[in-house]
Amino acid sequence: MRRTWVAVLLLVAACTGPVRSSGVYESKAGQTAAAAASAVETAMLAVDGARGGKAYGRYLTQVLVEAEEDAGSAQGTFDGIQPPDQRADQLRGRLDELLDQATGTLEDLRIAARRGRFAELPELARPLPKVAERLGDFAEAHG
Amino acid sequence: MKRLLSVALGILTAIGGFVDIGDIVANTETGARFGMSLAWVVVVGVVGICLFAEMAGRVATVSGRAVFDLVRERLGARLALVNLLASFFITFLTLAAEIGGVALAIELATSVNYLLFVPVVAVAVWLVIWRVKFDLMENVFGLLGLALVVTAVALWRLHPDWGGLLGGAVHPAVPQGEGHPSWWYFAIALLGAAMTPYEVFFFSSGAVEEGWSRADLITNRLNVYIGFPLGGLLSLALMAGATLFLEPRGIEPGHLSQAALPTMLALGKLGLAVLLLGFFAATFGAALETGLSCGYSIAQYFGFQWGKFVRPADAPRFHLVAMVAVAAGALLVLTTLDPITVTEYSIVLSAAALPLTYLPILVVANDPDYMGDKVNSRFTNALGTVYLLLLGVVAVATIPLMVLTKAGS
C-alpha cells in the first residue's frame, strides 16, 4: 500500500500541474521571461557577428537554431502551467505576447540563416533589442 | 637538448590537456552568472590537482605501479572497491560528457545534429585507444588542445578593464539577484571540474605507460607545477570572456556555441575556427583519457594486465573494459540526454566523490614501503590534509545544495 502511495506521489510530482499560488505562477513567469531574454540576447550577439562578417554561416545557423529552441521551449513549458486565477491570466497574456514576438523573430532569423541569407539577418533582427528590453523588464518585475 | 624538448613537450601537453568539457561548461556558466567572483575556486582547484597529481605521478614513478594498483594492496579489497565504484561511475559519466562534447564541437562546425556524430566519435575514440601509441596520442591531442589559448588571445584583444576583472576575482561577492546556495553550488561545480578524478588516474597510469624512472621525477614536477596552472589560466580566460559578454546581457549559457561567442566577436572567423579546433581536441583528448581511465581503474583493481605499452592482444580485458565504457557512454548520449546536462552532473558528482579518490593517494604517497625516501614532505602532508578536510566538507554539502538549488537553476 505504502509503495502504491509513493508511486502515485512520484507520478504527480513528475507532471506539470496547476500552480495553486499566484506568487509561484508569477515567479515562473519571471523565470520564463529571463530564459527567453537570454535566448534573444544570444541571437543578437550572433547577428552582431554576422554583421561584422566574423562568423561562419554554419556556426551562426547553429547559434540561431539553439536560441529559437530555447525561447520556444521556455514558452512551451510556461504555457503548460495552469494559471491559478484571473490575475495570472492577465500575466500570461502579457508574457505570451512578448514570447510570441521573440520566437517569431528568432524563427525568421533561423529560416534566413538556414537558407544562407546571412546579409538579411541584421534587418530581420531589428525588433530584438526592444523585445529583449521588455522581456528583461518583465523578468525583473516578476522574478 | 633532447631531454629539454621532451620536458617542454610534456608541459605543453599538460597545458593543452588540462581543459575538458567540464572546464568549458563550468567556467562559461559561472562567468555568465557570477562574473569573476568564483575565480578563486579555479585557483583552489588547480593547487589541489597539482598537489595530488604530483603525488600520483611520484608514486607511479618510484614504485613503477599506478595508483589503483597500489590502493587495493595498501587499503584492502573492500575499501578499494568503494573507491573504485565511486571513481569509475564519475569517470564513466565524464566519458559520456566528453563524447557528447566532441559531437557538439563538430555540430558547431557543420550545423548537423550532434547525435549523428556520436557513433562516429565513439568508434574513433575506441580506434585511437586500441591502435595509436600512447605518447603519440597524448602529444597530438595535448598540442592540439593548445588551440584553446585563443580564448586568452581573444580576452587580450578585447582590451578589457583588467582592474575590474581582477577586482571581481579578489573581492568575491554574490552578485545581486543570486542566492548564496547557488553561488556555493557553482563553486563546487568548478572545483569538481578542476579536480576531476580521472586526471590523476590518467596521470599516474601514463607515467607507467611511458616508463618513467626516478630520473623523470623532475619531469613529473614540471608538467604538474607549470603545465596545470597554465591550463588553469585558460579556464579563467573562458570565465572572463563570459563575464564580459554574457553576464551583462543576462545570457544563461546552456550550449557549447555560447561559450564560443566572446572569441568569435573578438577575433572573427580565424579565431572561431581555432577555438572550434580547440574544443574538438580538448574533448576528444579527454574522451581518450576517460576511456583509458575506465580500463585502467578496473584492470588495476582486479589485477588484469593493462596498458598500451603492451599489445592489445596481451591486455584483452583492459581493452574490453575501455571499449564497453566508450560504447555505453555513446549510448547514454544517444538517449538524447543533453550532453551539457550530463557534464553539469558529472562535475558536481565528481566533487562529491573527491575524498574517495584522493585519500588513498595521500595514504600510499606516505608509505615508505612503496616510496622509500620519496614519501611526502611535511608541507605536502599538511596541505594534503587541509585539502582532504575541504573535500570532505564539499562532499557532504554537494547533494543538499543540489536539491536546494534544483541543480543550480
What per-residue confidence (pLDDT) applies to B308? Answer: 86
For residues B211 and B66, give the distance between their C-alpha atoms in angstroms, rounded to a whole number.
Answer: 11
State yes or no: pLDDT of A102 exceeds 70. Answer: yes
A53 touches chain B (CB under 8 A): yes
Q: Are B315 and B304 in contact (CB under 8 A)?
A: yes
Q: How far is A53 from chain B (nearest CA, A)?
A: 7
What per-residue confidence (pLDDT) applies to B12? Answer: 65
What per-residue confidence (pLDDT) applies to B16? Answer: 63
Whether B209 maps to a domain, the answer reads: yes
Residue A41 to residue B261, Cβ atoms within 8 A: no
Whether A26 maps to a domain, the answer reads: yes
Whether B13 maps to a domain, the answer reads: no
ipTM: 0.88
Whether B376 maps to a domain, the answer reads: yes
Whether A11 maps to a domain, the answer reads: no
Per residue in B272-316, pLDDT tens? 999 999 999 999 999 999 999 999 999 999 989 998 888 989 999
Mutate to test the interface with B, among A31, A32, A54 (most CBs of B within 10 A): A54
Whether B294 maps to a domain, the answer reads: no
Q: Which domain holds residue B207?
A: 22-83+134-289+340-404
Among the partner-chain residues B111, B177, B264, the one whose CB lies closest to the CB of A49 is B264
Whether B69 maps to a domain, the answer reads: yes
Whether A10 maps to a domain, the answer reads: no
Average pLDDT taken over every residue of chain B: 91
State yes or no: pLDDT of A6 exceeds 50. Answer: no
Residue B272 to residue A59, Cβ atoms within 8 A: yes
More confident residue, B212 or A59: A59
What per-residue confidence (pLDDT) applies to A14? Answer: 45
Per residue in B167-205, pLDDT tens? 999 999 998 888 999 999 999 999 998 998 888 888 889
Per residue in B328-364, pLDDT tens? 999 999 999 999 999 989 889 888 888 888 888 899 8
List residues of chain B with CB under 8 Å from any CB of chain A: 107-111, 177, 245, 249-252, 254-255, 257-258, 260-261, 264-265, 267-269, 272-273, 276
What per-residue confidence (pLDDT) applies to A100? Answer: 96
Mutate to test the interface with B, among A38, A65, A111 (most CBs of B within 10 A): A38
Domain count for chain A:
1
State yes or no: pLDDT of B222 exceeds 70. Answer: yes
For residues B285 and B54, give the distance between their C-alpha atoms in angstroms, rounded to a whole number.
Answer: 20
Angle at B257 between CA B254 and CA B261, to 5 degrees: 110
Whether B37 maps to a domain, the answer reads: yes
Least trusted range by pLDDT, from A18-22, A41-45, A82-86, B72-76:
A18-22
Whether A132 maps to a domain, the answer reads: yes
The DSSP code for B178 is -
Mutate to test the interface with B, among A41, A44, A59 (most CBs of B within 10 A): A59
Whether A43 maps to a domain, the answer reads: yes
Whether B317 maps to a domain, the answer reads: no
Residue B250 to residue A34, Cβ atoms within 8 A: yes
In the three-class reduction of DSSP (H, G, I as helix; E, B as strand; rest coil), residue A112 is classed as helix
Q: Which domain holds residue A112?
A: 21-77+88-142
Per residue in B231-276, pLDDT tens? 899 999 999 999 999 999 999 999 999 999 999 999 999 999 999 9
Look up cell 534544483; give the residue. B406
For residues B272 and B131, give the distance between their C-alpha atoms in angstroms, rounded to a whole number.
Answer: 31
Domain with residue A94: its CATH number is: 1.20.120.660
For chain B, report the end-to-end CA distance as a whole number of angstroms.
52
A82 touches chain B (CB under 8 A): no
- Phi/psi of residue B173, nearest 5 degrees: -150, 145
pTM, two decimals, is 0.91
Tell me the residue type at B231.
Answer: G
Contacts A54 to B, Cβ<8 Å: 264-265, 267-269, 272
State yes or no: pLDDT of B409 exceeds 70. Answer: yes
Greatest pairwise CA separation for chain A in angstroms: 65
Look up cell 564513466; give the residue. B92
Mean pLDDT of B26-51: 95
